[in-house]
Amino acid sequence: MTRTIAIALSGGIDSLVSAYLLKKQGYKVLGLHFLTGYEPSFHHGPKPYDAPDPEQIEAVASSTHRQLSTITGQIDIPIEVIDLHRDFYENVIAYFTWSYAHGLTPNPCLVCNPAIKFGRLLEYALSAGASHLATGHYARLKTAESGRIMLYKGADPVKDQSYFLGRLTPRQLEHAVFPLGEFKKTDTIALAREAGLSPVVNRESQDICFISGLSYHEFLAQQLGTAPLPGPIFDTRGNHIGRHSGLHRFTIGQRRGINCPGPAPYYVIRIDHERNRLVVGFKADLFIDNCDVSEINWIIPPPQSTTDIMVRVRYRHLPVPARLKPVSSDMAHIVFTHPQAAITPGQGAVFYRGEQLLGAGWIVRSDEQQPHTG
């Protein structure tokens, strides 16, 4: 009996080529596209959360299905549109707004992948008879001698997306497939051209995919239901040097928008949520040599003693050497071999050994609140 693999279809080239490859390999392929409730077709009111009504959901689902039907014509697979707007709000939007409201800088993809794509969508795929869920991520899976599924960087060092998958659980990885793991992006484009494949969506997927038609500041103000609260700006010596227009407009390491004169450009060093104040300093003040990481999802068995690792503190950051000291089963203290700039509470810290991804957690400080992930 031919095995069924579901594929999360965005309409872009990566998921389209992934579905094509699975079909060529002889699998029965089921296309799944999920609605977040924040597509441009949805219209939200002024409330922090104004859920789309059933008629609106049905209309958007129908128009999305018609749009994706061109994929069915190209590779002959059935496609279903799944409404996950409530799950997306509760897991991703609520986390995103809570983080900003508490002075943290969130990373929505690190929450969406385990909670939505390999959470609710995987559950649906399994209930529909699929054995696995595939996505167009550039990452690789390998089976260890123990039988455990391990996650590795994608073969394309520029496009590698393993960082965003670091919070998938071992069980979720057992049901994951990444057909583009050995591909470079140029290979994907060339194969699509050779096979005559035309994506429905030509743009690259964005980290904040759910904000359209608004700046993220406007989106946050709408979701929080309150106007931004201005407050004081202090330098690292405690001098009051200006006013900010709302802490949610800033993240660690940011230079733009501070608008305070000084002998050199100022950068955001700290976001003091409790006192609603912004702490700024010079470029040299951004560098620190350690941080804590909480709520770690381990893909390997958790280390029991201090170990040397490579750590990535944001997506566009090359892994750097560090020493990890376990504090508990899901918390660790990280000491960098060389001080790093703009280590940002709320962002994901992802651990590697060579090409292998070991686990991922949230950057925190002992006096900072931890991100809430639903």
Residue in 168, 277, 299, 298 with CA at minimum distance from that of residue 231: 277
Cα separation, 131 vs 124, whole angstroms: 11
Using DSSP, state whether 339 is helix, strand or coil: strand
| Sheet arrangement for strand 4-8 | 79-83, 28-35, 4-8, 132-134, 176-177
**Rg (Cα) of the chain, in Å, rounded?**
22
Catalytic residue status for 109 = no
| Residue 368 contacts residue 358 (beta carbons within 8 Å) | no
Single-letter amino acid code for the residue at 63:
S
Cα separation, 100 vs 107, whole angstroms: 11
Residue in 182, 133, 172 with CA at minimum distance from that of residue 299: 172
| Sheet arrangement for strand 267-272 | 240-244, 231-235, 277-281, 267-272
Q: Bridge partners of 44?
A: none
Crossing angle for the helix pair 185-195 and 13-24, to the nearest 10 degrees: 70
Share of the chain residues as helix, strand and coil, in percent rounded to the nearest 5: 30, 30, 45
> Where in the sequence numbering do the catalytic residues fall?
112, 209
